Amino acid sequence: MKVKNSNFVDYVKIFCRSGKGGAGSAHFLRDKTTAKGGPDGGDGGDGGHIIIKGNEQMWTLLHLKYKKHIFAEHGGVGSGNHKHGKDGASSYLEVPLGTIGKDAASGEILFEITENGQEHILVKGGMGGRGNSHFKSPTNQSPRYAQPGIDVTEGWFILELKVLADIGLVGFPNAGKSTLLSVVSAAKPEIANYPFTTLVPNLGIVSYRGDKSFIMADIPGIIEGAAEGKGLGLRFLRHIERNSTLLFMVPADSDDIAKEYEILLGELQKYNPELLDKDRILAISKSDMLDDELKAEIAKELPKDLPSLFISSVAQQGLTELKDLIWKKLND
């Protein structure tokens, strides 16, 4: 499924080229009083870097979608009288927290930005060449050469954004994840009664008992085969990797709640087995349609190895207990 007209961009491929180092100067001192002075060539300036910088105010890589080629400035050449060439200006690329960088050819992960203001030199600028004054020696009083600057470094890189949140909502499309987020936080996700309404991750800050809070991410619904790339699949599974606790949501009107949970768990395991090491909570959504007797029957069939509870976002049932449980998990 192709996502159109979305400002949320979580994957870009960019070409970066550092600045070339400026050449050193092979100049000799010449003035009114000195006809044949010694070498006084200055060093070339260093080329600029391409630097990635974390910005907590950003939440998408949209600004890089249409700027695929990034270049830093070349260093200036050295000159006489030991004058150093000007250093080339570096190019800074600001990215949201949760951005990882990869080498496009090898797929190797190069860095991960998780803090505001954190910097990583993606492509290092070339060093400036040394002027001829560095090469003067007792046996060579008049060196007529200087170093050229080190050439540019360039390459293709991939930037991927993985949403940073305390708790990620995991469930099939139409499990009620967006509705829950809209009720417990100030987030306004698009909500409708059909699958794949959520095409991009939504983040919401959930207030908890006074001045406490945690961040909840509504990850787009996955379906069987998501790990093989079906539906919205792999594009969104990577966001779940960053959440410290996973809240599985299965609607009360599901044909088999336990089986649905196992399918969801299986998709995560196929994608990345380490996801199963995260804390898990199971919430049975849309539970306002159940009476106490039905809840008791369903509870018998639920997995015994994780905490579960019945909630209804619309009827505001079980939400306080859910937040208490989430807070306990996050702070254990």
Whether 194 has a pLDDT exceeding 70, the answer reads no
**The model's pTM:** 0.65
Residue that terminates a domain, selected from 161, 196, 222: 161
- The residue with greater pLDDT, 189 or 168, is 168
* pLDDT class of 10 with cuts at 50, 70, 90: confident
Count up the domains in the chain and report the number: 2
pLDDT at 270: 80
- In this predicted model, what pLDDT tens digit does every residue of 224-248 receive, in sequence order? 454 455 444 445 556 666 677 889 9
Shared domain check, 144 and 15: yes
Looking at the structure, do residues 134 and 187 belong to the same domain, yes or no?
A: no
**Which of the listed residues 126, 161, 196 is the one where a domain comes to its end?**
161
Same domain, 18 and 82: yes
User: pLDDT-derived band of residue 60, with 50, 70 and 90 as boundaries?
Assistant: confident
Does residue 310 share a domain with residue 296?
Answer: yes
pLDDT at 219 over 80: no
Residue 190 sits in the same domain as residue 278: yes
Residue 325 confidence class, pLDDT cut points 50, 70, 90:
very high
Q: Are residues 119 and 177 in the same domain?
A: no
User: What are the structure tokens assigned to 168, written together?
Assistant: 């990620």
Q: Which range marks the domain in which residue 183 is found?
A: 167-331
Question: Residue 69's pLDDT is what?
Answer: 95
Q: Which residues contact 154 (CB under 8 A, 6 or more apart)?
A: 15, 16, 17, 18, 123
The Cα 129–Cα 314 span in angstroms is: 68
Do 125 and 193 belong together in one domain? no
Least trusted range by pLDDT, from 54-58, 85-89, 127-131: 54-58
Helix (H) or strand (E) holding 293: helix 292-301
* Whether residue 191 is found in the same domain as residue 326: yes
Phi, psi dihedrals of residue 194, rounded to the nearest 5°: -150, 155
Query: H or E stretch including 161?
Result: strand 154-161
Q: Based on the domain organization, do 149 and 210 belong to the same domain?
A: no
Report the pLDDT averaged over residues 318-328. 93
| Shared domain check, 52 and 201 | no
What percent of the chain lies above the pLDDT cut of 70? 84
Phi and psi of 97, rounded to 5°? -65, 140
**Residue 52 scores a pLDDT above 70:** yes
